[in-house]
Amino acid sequence: MNIFLLRHGETEHNMKKLYYGKLDALLNEQGIKQAEIVKERLKNIRFNAVYTSEMKRAVDTAKIVLKDKKYKIIKDSRINEMDLGIFEGKSYKEIEKLYPEEWKNWCENWKEFAPPKGESFIQFYGRIKSFFEDILKLKEENILIVTHGGVIKNIYSYIMEENLDMFWKFGTKNGDLAIVKYEYGNLYLDSIVHAEK
């Protein structure tokens, strides 16, 4: 099985380095270009299934990549980005200034602390694990998953024997395409390709 993990193209929120997960930001011009590059890379791949988060930035990226091909896009809320609650749409400096106590707790207990009105990292990881384990049960050759940076890094952590600390050992840029292989019961990260040529 080949699992293609694609991070959505850039948005204005990405460009401004704002924390956001649940906010439904749209692709900017650069994000559209990144999706077009991936479209060219994947033009000869026939996918057996296509999954996206519910967010427009992921769905729109998938539509650009798969343009002129007939696929049913399955939206799954489990691969939405982390819900950051009151931190949504703010820079880290704004969060630190507006919510100093919550920011301190989040930094010191990043796995278990949930920003008010948001979710904890443990909750976030749990839904992604549930989704990914369902994917591994499929008997398909090529699967495309268009989602978010935090989701992809959690999948990497799952691959690394569910070591959640590995979340911080990987970067993932807008438009990055990773290929995870599942062969003979062995799950491994095969490659990561950046969108920029």
Predicted confidence (pLDDT) per residue in 45-92, tens digit: 999 999 999 999 999 999 999 998 889 999 999 999 999 999 999 999
Q: How many domains does the chain divide into?
A: 1
- Write b or e for each residue in 17-30: b if 16 or more Cβ atoms lie within 10 A of its Cβ, otherwise e: ebbbbbbebebbeb
pLDDT band at 19 (very low <50, low <70, confident <90, very high): confident
Residue 108 bears catalytic tag: no
Q: Which pLDDT belongs to residue 73?
A: 95
Mean pLDDT of the region 123-149: 97
Exactly one of 10, 13, 81, 102 is catalytic; name it.
81
Q: Is residue 63 part of a domain?
A: yes
Q: Which pLDDT belongs to residue 195?
A: 76
Distance of CA 10 to the CA centre of its chain: 12
Q: Which two tokens stand for residue 125?
A: 């990881």
Residue 121 has pLDDT above 90, yes or no: yes
Q: Is residue 151 part of a domain?
A: yes
Mean pLDDT of the region 146-155: 97
Q: Is residue 138 part of a domain?
A: yes
Q: Is residue 106 part of a domain?
A: no
Q: Is residue 94 part of a domain?
A: no
Q: Which domain holds residue 76?
A: 2-85+120-193
Q: Is residue 185 part of a domain?
A: yes
Residue 196 has pLDDT above 90, yes or no: no
Mean pLDDT of the region 14-18: 90
Residue 81 bears catalytic tag: yes
Q: Is residue 92 part of a domain?
A: no
Give the span between the Cα atoms of 69 and 71, in whole angstroms. 6
- The enclosing domain of 40 has a CATH number of 3.40.50.1240
Separate counts of helices (H) and strands (E) for the chain: 7, 6
pLDDT (tens digit per residue) in 163-174: 999 999 999 999
Q: Is residue 114 part of a domain?
A: no
Give the span between the Cα atoms of 164 and 156, in whole angstroms. 9
pLDDT band at 14 (very low <50, low <70, confident <90, very high): very high
Q: Which residues contact 64 (CB under 8 A, 6 or more apart)?
A: 9, 32, 35, 36, 39
Exactly one of 8, 10, 13, 102 is catalytic; name it.
8
Q: Which pLDDT belongs to residue 197?
A: 52
